Structure 1
Amino acid sequence: MNADKIEGYIERVYGYAVNHTFSRDEADELSQEILFTAVRELPKLKDDSKFEPWLWSIANNVTKSFRRYMGKQRAMYSYDTLETLSCEDEYGDENEEFYDSLRTKIAMLSEMYRSIIILYYYDGLSTKQISEKLDIPEGTVTWRLSEARKKLKRKCTDMNETALKPVKLMIRINGEGDYKDPISPFPYVYINDALSQNILYYCYEAPKTVEELAKLCGVPAYYIEDALGNLIKREAMSEVSKGKYRTDFIIYSEKAREYDEKAKGVFEPVVDGFVSSLKKLADSAENLGIYTAEKPKEELIYLYGIMATEHLSEKHNPVKWVERSVRYDGYRWSYHAHLMNDNQYPIRELGREESSNLGSRGNYKHISYNFGGFSYREMMFGNEINICEDIFLGREIEDTDSAAAAIAKGFISKNDNGKLFVTVPAFTKEQKRQFDLLTDQAFESSIDGYTDAVRKYVSGYKKLFPEHLKDDVARACNYMFLTLYATHICDIAQERELLLSPHDGSICDVLIQHK
């Protein structure tokens, strides 16, 4: 086999390495070792059709050896060679002296304490991860961390929050792409280290220079420059003027939550009419012969509501959709992040995952929704969707591995007579077409009121975000047409007992025939 085939897997191997290491430096080293081993062993591969499983087997074996090695030779930021650099007058204030002093004092700690400080605060590892990385008890890690803090506090009486208490972002993407961890990681995996999160946060409201970021993050400038290079490569940031860098996606914070609570009242007048239309739709849908997976009507009504809102959005959404640009990996998507406060999301959202199953023999797509009282369920992938379709059509199940995976994830179970049973409601193309027609009829009298309420809500919501993110904000406001049903309409309807709350463990997902 030609070694050129390996070139097509370089990015995927790097993604695999990112998911199996704690830093970009380690990921670089591991991915290089995997690729080197693959090139060396390639002549031994006799069956070209087995190339991919062969490659990931090599990756797995190399990773095991790499982890054993790293347990003894820990990679960390090198503070041993910090130099005392003279500062320009414009930076020669007390803050600069403090950060220089802090970095020097970290470097002066013994290796026992210095390594814990760096791994915990700068690498963003938990005490459990540090325990595994250094091969010492977690209790020892906790004790050393406490002692290291005391030592630093004795040296620096006023510890700066931004230096040793980084912010935490939960970064995700919206859009399309062929991603499946750990082999093909989602793009946010590459920008999710602690230092990158803090750089993104500090450059969100206004651009910052490398020197400003070094002060805020409490690390030498050359680490900032390295992280910025990766963030720009991954299209998370841009250089907006000479030496000034800006974050290029929305970061949701407490401001969004506070606005959401204040603006909720605009939906109070429209809830009764909206729910009345929804119940009319649910009654009419009973005549379509939809496969309901034996779910009760009070649970299905939420699914019908979100499907109806998606359909109505095409004609009635007051905010026009702005198409995403093609990203560095050839897909259309955009980042977004939440500023976490005690591991809590600042806002409530509608979670939506769709597996379109375009490159498969199957004809169905799977959509999984997560909102108000419904448990999260990951989307199915191609072969799992195909198994469900085979069951619908009474075909013999030949792909037993995919069937087992679908059963393990709860997409399929066995009924009382031992036959396989799909646990997800399903629409044929014709049923979905009829459902959309019924939606237009049922909501004819209430959709204008809902649209006006959404328009009022987003008119203030879009002002919460930086001007340079207007396209991202437009997409977020467009999606609000769905989100505000899933949050405010459903919340108020439950408070008024117009809708019953979902039972614990309820799932809101659907299979729709689309080809």
Structure 2
Amino acid sequence: MDKPQADRVIKDYIKPLYGFALNKTGNIAEAEELAGRMTLEVYQTLLKKSEFLDLNSYVFKIAHYVWAKYVGEKVKVSNHLRIDDNEVMSNDEGLDAMIRQETAGALRREIAFLSHQQREIVVKYYYGGMKISEIAAAMGLSGGTVKWHLFEAKKELKQNMNTIRSMGNLGINPIRMVGLGHSGSPGNKGDTSDFLATTIRQNIAYSAYHKPLTVNEIAEELGISPVFIEDEINFLEEYGFMDQLSGGKYRTNMYIDDPSQAKSEALHRLFTEYAEMAVEHYFKAFFSMAEVFQDTGVYIPDGDVNLLLWSLIPYAGKQLSFKELNKVSHEEVSVSRKDGGDYVAYATIDRKFDVSFDRNLYYWCGDMNRESDELAMKAWQFDMWWCGRQGGWRDNLNSDFINLVHVIHGDLPQNHANIDIYRRLFDKHYLLRKDSGFEVNIVYCKDKQTGERLQAAIPQPSERIKEAARKLDQEVYRLYLDGQPEHAHKYVRYWSQNNMASGTMRVYVLKHLIDIGMLKVPDPTRQKGISTILFMNGK
């Protein structure tokens, strides 16, 4: 088995092996030592063997074997350490023998907690059999520096050998994140869901969210060796998800929401109340403006005004954003990342609790804006429960709208060369098959003038709506602020401002309009085309 695969496998068994050892010993300190032995033995075996008929059984056969060896074994560590000028660093043969023979799991555990450089020197000297001069040459250090590091490392090992390193809460009960997303532009490596795709990265980020921690402190909180997380922490710091502070400490640089039943229910009541207000004092007027909207020349699939409103209402929701209500600008919280991304990252802890409403109905993703300077084309889309689209922003492609413009203009021939383009547009339901050929299934403005007329026809919000928006922001901020660390308050403020124009408010508005019978849920063949507007030749 190659090393990357072995690393992945051993991470999955760290917790089960610790549980096995704790069950056998009934003592945390002894369990950590025994689990360390088991983990090392399993890891070395993984590197030697390429195939396993039953990997899980094989791992625990090794665990039982190590347990049998452990019974009756006693290791004593001498307290006497000294440093000489020659290659023999100490006359403490007991400690040196333990390192060379790998018979002390606790000692190997403590080696993992040394600094990266000291750990490398100890491993090269005791495990690699290298001389001081060879280590110095390999690491670009003087011989005296290598000797000093060995001395300091051994002193630290002696001090920490009897330390009981308790597993942190995340080692026993790791969290899982859902709803990992962003506001801004993702880079070529993706967004938050890509960088925090693994459980270990999610728990690293959460461990240092409320309080800055060192690598070793994070390792103890996760209940694993620092060796396994150093690279992960460096990677997250490199791409702006963690900040390195003074004293070798790290702090998570994103917004993490930790939901509760009480908070979820309170937010639901709040958005339900204000959505009713937004409908009554703003969106209800849209339903008496059918002729005004049609007179702009906008294309409406099948001429169905209901389909137009399914796109126009969430689009017009942006009108309920008031700059004077913004307390934190996007630039204050966004991070320019190494892969070209520039966005604010967020995630939600997956907490299991029941609520009185169906969470699925309030899913949303947007606003998603796509454009082509060459065609002077802009497209807007907003995903929610009723559109039935899959893939979110990743499947919202510029090329789809560019190809759709060519179809509308009649300059994309229906031939074998373009079969995949047409197949995708039909699969996305941007085009529908009809007896006469095909029909465009999204709202679009055929030229700049049409787009301008449609924009001008959208009503402006009243002062009453603005005042309601201010009060809503205050309530949401108060709910989200609870339990958040001080450094994250700017993120809380950012995500708690202009809620009247938020995606959350728009889905609550749509839900209320359905409940009171003003909006009708579209036919399944039409759903994937809603909440989308294509502007051709500019807006």
- Tell me the TM-score normalized by structure 2: 0.62
How far apart are 1:466 and its partner, in Å? 3.2
| Cα pair distance change 1:149/1:163, threshold 3 Å | farther
What residue is the counterpart of 2:267 in the other structure?
Answer: 260
Which residue identity is paired with 2:171?
A: A
How far apart are 1:303 and its partner, in Å? 1.8
Choose which of 316, 324, 342 in structure 2 pairs with 1:332: 342
What residue is the counterpart of 1:275 in the other structure?
Answer: 283
Choose which of 282, 292, 306 in structure 2 pairs with 1:298: 306
In the alignment, the residues of structure 2 paired with residue 96 and residue 346 of structure 1 have an alpha-carbon distance, to the nearest angstrom, of 41
Q: How does 1:182-261 map to 2 (within 5 A)?
A: 185-186=190-191, 188-255=193-260, 257-261=264-268
Structure 1 range deviating more: 319-328 or 388-397: 319-328
How far apart are 1:416 and its partner, in Å? 1.6
| Cα pair distance change 1:268/1:477, threshold 3 Å | closer
Alpha-carbon contact 1:354-1:365 (below 8 Å) kept = no
Which residue identity is paired with 1:197?
A: Q
How far apart are 1:231 and its partner, in Å? 1.0
What residue is the counterpart of 2:364 in the other structure?
Answer: 350
What residue is the counterpart of 2:450 in the other structure?
Answer: 431
| Cα pair distance change 1:343/1:461, threshold 3 Å | closer
What residue is the counterpart of 2:411 in the other structure?
Answer: 395
In the alignment, the residues of structure 2 paired with residue 254 and residue 72 of structure 1 have an alpha-carbon distance, to the nearest angstrom, of 35
| Cα pair distance change 1:104/1:454, threshold 3 Å | same
How far apart are 1:237 and its partner, in Å? 0.5
* SS of residue paired to 2:211: coil
Which residue identity is paired with 2:237?
A: I
In the alignment, the residues of structure 2 paired with residue 229 and residue 72 of structure 1 have an alpha-carbon distance, to the nearest angstrom, of 18
What residue is the counterpart of 1:467 in the other structure?
Answer: 486
Alpha-carbon contact 1:266-1:457 (below 8 Å) kept = no
| Cα pair distance change 1:405/1:497, threshold 3 Å | closer
What residue is the counterpart of 1:491 in the other structure?
Answer: 511
What residue is the counterpart of 1:457 in the other structure?
Answer: 475
Choose which of 377, 383, 388 in structure 2 pairs with 1:364: 377
What residue is the counterpart of 1:409 in the other structure?
Answer: 428
Greater Rg over alpha carbons, structure: 2
In the alignment, the residues of structure 2 paired with residue 273 and residue 357 of structure 1 have an alpha-carbon distance, to the nearest angstrom, of 33
Alpha-carbon contact 1:367-1:509 (below 8 Å) kept = yes
How far apart are 1:218 and its partner, in Å? 1.4
In the alignment, the residues of structure 2 paired with residue 491 and residue 296 of structure 1 have an alpha-carbon distance, to the nearest angstrom, of 19
How far apart are 1:188 and its partner, in Å? 4.5
What residue is the counterpart of 1:104 in the other structure?
Answer: 36
How far apart are 1:295 and its partner, in Å? 7.0
How far apart are 1:217 and its partner, in Å? 1.1
Post-superposition CA distance 1:219-270 (Å, at most 9, x none):
1122222221111011100123312221111112214534413533641661
* SS of residue paired to 2:232: helix
Post-superposition CA distance 1:344-368 (Å, at most 9, x none):
998955311535234x633323333
* SS of residue paired to 1:373: helix
Choose which of 153, 168, 171 in structure 1 pairs with 2:176: 168
In the alignment, the residues of structure 1 paired with residue 222 and residue 505 of structure 2 have an alpha-carbon distance, to the nearest angstrom, of 40
In the alignment, the residues of structure 2 paired with residue 101 and residue 259 of structure 1 have an alpha-carbon distance, to the nearest angstrom, of 47
Structure 1: gaps spanning 5 or more residues? 1-68, 83-93, 116-133
Aligned length: 406
Alpha-carbon contact 1:172-1:336 (below 8 Å) kept = yes
| Cα pair distance change 1:72/1:249, threshold 3 Å | closer
In the alignment, the residues of structure 1 paired with residue 480 and residue 190 of structure 2 have an alpha-carbon distance, to the nearest angstrom, of 31
Which residue identity is paired with 1:327?
A: R
Which residue identity is paired with 1:249?
A: M
In the alignment, the residues of structure 2 paired with residue 349 and residue 241 of structure 1 have an alpha-carbon distance, to the nearest angstrom, of 40
In the alignment, the residues of structure 2 paired with residue 295 and residue 106 of structure 1 have an alpha-carbon distance, to the nearest angstrom, of 70
Structure 1 range deviating more: 223-232 or 368-377: 368-377
How far apart are 1:277 and its partner, in Å? 2.4
In the alignment, the residues of structure 2 paired with residue 408 and residue 190 of structure 1 have an alpha-carbon distance, to the nearest angstrom, of 30
In the alignment, the residues of structure 2 paired with residue 151 and residue 429 of structure 1 have an alpha-carbon distance, to the nearest angstrom, of 76
Which residue identity is paired with 1:322?
A: H
What residue is the counterpart of 2:397 in the other structure?
Answer: 381
In the alignment, the residues of structure 1 paired with residue 9 and residue 503 of structure 2 have an alpha-carbon distance, to the nearest angstrom, of 42
Which residue identity is paired with 1:451?
A: A
Post-superposition CA distance 1:166-222 (Å, at most 9, x none):
32223333211464xxxx544652442221111111112222222322122111122
Which residue identity is paired with 1:381?
A: L
Post-superposition CA distance 1:403-444 (Å, at most 9, x none):
44333433333322124x332221343333223322235x44
| Cα pair distance change 1:327/1:352, threshold 3 Å | same
Identity of aligned residues (%): 15
Alpha-carbon contact 2:214-2:248 (below 8 Å) kept = yes
Alpha-carbon contact 1:318-1:455 (below 8 Å) kept = no
In the alignment, the residues of structure 1 paired with residue 314 and residue 4 of structure 2 have an alpha-carbon distance, to the nearest angstrom, of 53
* SS of residue paired to 2:366: strand
| Cα pair distance change 1:240/1:95, threshold 3 Å | farther
| Cα pair distance change 1:459/1:236, threshold 3 Å | closer
Q: CA RMSD of the aligned region, Å?
A: 4.5
Which residue identity is paired with 1:487?
A: V
In the alignment, the residues of structure 2 paired with residue 95 and residue 206 of structure 1 have an alpha-carbon distance, to the nearest angstrom, of 29
| Cα pair distance change 1:431/1:299, threshold 3 Å | same
In the alignment, the residues of structure 1 paired with residue 302 and residue 491 of structure 2 have an alpha-carbon distance, to the nearest angstrom, of 39
* SS of residue paired to 2:230: helix
| Cα pair distance change 1:265/1:370, threshold 3 Å | closer
In the alignment, the residues of structure 2 paired with residue 431 and residue 493 of structure 1 have an alpha-carbon distance, to the nearest angstrom, of 27
Alpha-carbon contact 1:318-1:454 (below 8 Å) kept = no
In the alignment, the residues of structure 2 paired with residue 78 and residue 268 of structure 1 have an alpha-carbon distance, to the nearest angstrom, of 50
| Cα pair distance change 1:268/1:356, threshold 3 Å | closer
In the alignment, the residues of structure 1 paired with residue 283 and residue 218 of structure 2 have an alpha-carbon distance, to the nearest angstrom, of 50
* SS of residue paired to 1:356: strand
Is residue 459 of structure 2 the alignment partner of residue 440 of structure 1?
yes
Post-superposition CA distance 1:353-398 (Å, at most 9, x none):
535234x633323333122433234454333222211122222438
Choose which of 489, 500, 508 in structure 1 pairs with 2:520: 500
Post-superposition CA distance 1:293-342 (Å, at most 9, x none):
33743343232111111134256755564323433233421221122246
